[in-house]
Amino acid sequence: MASRRNRIRTFHPDYDPPELLFILPTDDGPDQDKTPFFVIYDAAHAFASNPYDAWLSKSKDGSKRIEKTTVWLEAGDYFFHVSNSDKPWPVVANFESWSFPHRQGAPLHWQNASDVVANRHGYGLPSQGTATCRITEHELALEYAHIIPRAEKPWFGTNRMDQYGNVGGRTGDSVAESSANRIWLTSDAHKIWDESRFTIIPDMKEQGQGLEMVGWRTHRLNEHQEVLKRWHNKPPSPVEDRAGEYFYARFVWDIFPLIQGFHHGGPPRRLVVYNQSQCKYEVKMLTKAERRIFTLNQGRTRSASPTKRQRSAQPGDRSERSGGSTYRRSAFKKQRLSPLDRSQDSAIAGFQNWTGDSDSDLDDAVLRHRRSTRSPDFLPSWMSNDTELDRGRSRERR
């Protein structure tokens, strides 16, 4: 684990005392003791629901602004400020409650990275018959990995992400299952990515007084040293015709588990939540107990949505009650899979106690095991009348 002097801590300044939002290690720069400015800024910007006027500073009052032309951030404490917002500015509850910024567009460096790769290698999806892992370049134990996870197909459709996929006129959330939203990865790379231990970001190199866009690279989010050695700062093989908007959305999906601590502690806080029954985004002041249910499955194979219907217990399920929450586990259901059929969902559980089953689709294999998902025993009063929707499903590797 990185020491405190090798970490960047980002705070919400509108609380007293300021509340910690997220922490990321510093592993980049000439001396491997910094982090790209845009990584911290883009993460905080997404948590703040894509505000037009926002900035990072070194002070709670926002006076020590950090210019957006900054290349590297050193380890230390930073504050993210939002102007023209009621205080405290609301934090997005989870990925499902985050709206893609179509009007602003994805940050230019995300769009430019995709263009640079396409211009260098040409357009057209690579043949899947000669596939290699996009990160390791290995040819064995390959799996399809979804860029925007399959579990987020409802989000994909709601946010009209199909408009960024180049799939010959195909539209709707079916684009989420197309080659435009998938890359080849080895099974271990796929699993580590799905556990949000690393993400894929634009790769920019210092060139004179500015930056030169190179393409893409991996960037670790987890402080485990093996992630640093094996999965950090690795340039993927060409991923032409994969939209920068998809990698940007995946980056946001990868970072949302970082703010679980913010949701799990402290006094009531203002959150942006997505009301499924009314198909609109709302700002709510929620207690700690109400906030927790938005994060139970965030980054773990399924969308964290308190408005989805809890699955009923099945015959043979075992229920245990602990701390006011119900834990149900069904018996394992195993199925043998051939190595070539082990294409699995791009939202694999990093924590195996919170996993469920998943529908087969396209050439993806049937789940090897089934487990039911931890569910809260309550919903906030302001959600009690919401239309119940089917709970998303997930799959687990063994």
Q: What is the pLDDT of residues 183-218, one digit of tens each?
A: 999 999 999 999 999 999 998 777 666 677 778 889
Does residue 119 share a domain with residue 77? no
Asked if residue 79 and residue 113 are part of one domain, the reply reads no
How far CA 60 is from CA of 10, 18, 77, 299, in Å, comes to 11, 8, 10, 30
Residue 212 lies in a domain: yes
Measure the CA–CA gap between 97 and 308, rounded to whole angstroms: 14
Inter-residue contact 217 to 198 (CB < 8 Å): no
pTM: 0.73
Q: Are residues 73 and 123 in the same domain?
A: no
Q: pLDDT band at residue 155, thresholds of 50, 70 and 90?
A: very high
Place of tokens 């701390």: 323
Residue 24 φ/ψ, nearest 5 degrees: -135, 145
Total count of domains within the chain:
2
Which helix (H) or strand (E) element contains residue 289? helix 288-292
pLDDT of residue 137: 85
**CA 41 centroid distance within chain:** 15
Same domain, 160 and 233: yes
Whether residue 224 sits in one domain with residue 169: yes
In a domain, 190, yes or no: yes
Residues 255-299 have pLDDT tens digits of 999 999 999 988 999 999 999 888 899 999 999 999 988 877 665
**End residue of a domain, out of 208, 241, 274:** 241
DSSP 98-140: PPP-TTT-S-HHHHHHHHHHHHHH-SSPPPGGG---TTT---S
Residue whose tokens read 């009348």: 385
Does any domain span residue 227? yes
Where residue 61 falls among pLDDT bands split at 50, 70, 90?
very high
Same domain, 132 and 197: yes
- Select from 36, 57, 89 the last residue of a domain: 89
The answer to whether residue 159 is domain-embedded is yes
Q: Reading across the β-sheet that carries 91-92, which strands appear in turn?
A: 91-92, 269-275, 280-286
Q: How far apart are CA 253 and CA 134, in angstroms?
A: 20
Read off φ and ψ for residue 308, nearest 5 degrees: -85, 145
Residue 272 in tokens: 């942006």
Residue linked to tokens 């043998």: 336
Same domain for 129 and 8, yes or no, is no
Residue 67 has pLDDT above 90, yes or no: yes
For residue 252, what pLDDT is reported?
Answer: 97
Give the separation between CA 243 and CA 17, rounded to whole angstroms: 40
230/110 same-domain check? yes
Looking at the domain assignment, is residue 265 inside a domain? no
| Residues 72 and 168 grouped into a single domain | no
Which range marks the domain in which residue 8 is found? 4-89
How many angstroms separate the CA atoms of 236 and 305, rounded? 32
Residue 378 lies in a domain: no
Whether 41 maps to a domain, the answer reads yes
Q: Is the pLDDT of residue 162 over 60?
A: yes
Q: What is the mean pLDDT of the chain?
A: 74
55 Cβ neighbours under 8 A, 6+ residues apart: 62, 65, 66, 68, 80, 81
Which of 24-28, 152-156, 361-365 comes out lowest in average pLDDT? Answer: 361-365
The 8-class DSSP code of residue 310 comes to P
- Characterize 267-292 residue by residue with b for buried, 16 or more Cβ atoms within 10 angstroms of its Cβ, and e for exposed: eebbbbbbbbeeeebeebebeeebbb
Among 241, 272, 288, the domain-final residue is 241
CA angle 71, 76, 81 (to 5 degrees): 75
